[in-house]
Structure 1
Amino acid sequence: MPLSPGLYKLAFETPAGADYGVAYLTPDGRMRGGDSGMAYVGTVSQLGERITAELSVTQHRHVPGVVSALGYNDVAVQLEGYSDEGSADVVGTSRDRAGLRFRARLTQIAD
């Protein structure tokens, strides 16, 4: 079942640690969100239960010495995975950063 438009909680797991944020999925497939230091902006495509996304992750609050859980403060990422009943499990990679790989879970918290 494809993800419905709405507000989602994002839980990231990376080799550098875990992080959390929120994002809003619009009816036309745009995703906008962030956390206390990073902004997420991009698009989501869905075909049945399959989900793919292209997101720009950009630092909006600069704190000396602080790096995001992804290990980079400004990076484009690609997500691929599957959705089911208001949530999705995805794997993230980056064409810009060959070694970057992470898992994330999107869980709908409001429509």
Structure 2
Amino acid sequence: MFQGLYKIEFETPRGKASGVVHALDGRLRGGSSAFAYIGSYSQQGSTVIGDVSSRRHTVDANHPSVYPFDEVRISFSGVVNGDLAMCEGTAAEAPGLAFKALLTKLAD
């Protein structure tokens, strides 16, 4: 079941970043030192699909965006396998930049 607190490591061809995401009852909430993540998901078997918005909350040159924007809407799909989830997707604002993420469960 895709619920709990996850460490998220994600990348696009522009770079890599990480943060945390809490998944519960179809809702996603999380963030990093510079970005907030808010979205939704659904799960059928081991497949998870969803949408998440990423929005910069702190301007900091040490935490650049992995997109050329400070706010994006990402549609994703992936596979949950135990305490891990592998996802891929695209941002509506930059459809040519592939998004990949590895989520590792930290707690229920």
Do they fold alike, i.e. is TM over 0.5? yes
Q: Does the 8 A contact of 2:4 with 2:22 survive in 1? A: yes
Matched residues, number: 108
Q: Percent identity?
A: 37
On the 8 A contact 1:70/1:102 being kept in 2, the answer is no
Structure 2, unpaired ranges of 5+ = none
Question: In 1, distance between residues paired with 2:105 and 2:93?
Answer: 29
> Superposition RMSD on alpha carbons, in Å?
1.7
CA contact (8 A) 2:34 2:63 kept: no
Q: Which residue of 1 aligns with 2:67?
A: 70
Structure 1: give runs of 5+ residues left out of the alignment. Answer: none
Instruction: Measure the CA separation in 1 of the matches of 2:95 and 2:88.
Output: 14
TM-score (structure 2 length as normaliser):
0.90
SS in 2 for 1:61: coil
- Cα separation, partners in 2 of 1:87 and 1:65, compared to 1, 3 Å: closer
Normalized against structure 1, the TM-score is what?
A: 0.88
1:1-111 superposed matches below 5 A: 2-3=1-2, 5-26=3-24, 28-63=25-60, 67-111=64-108
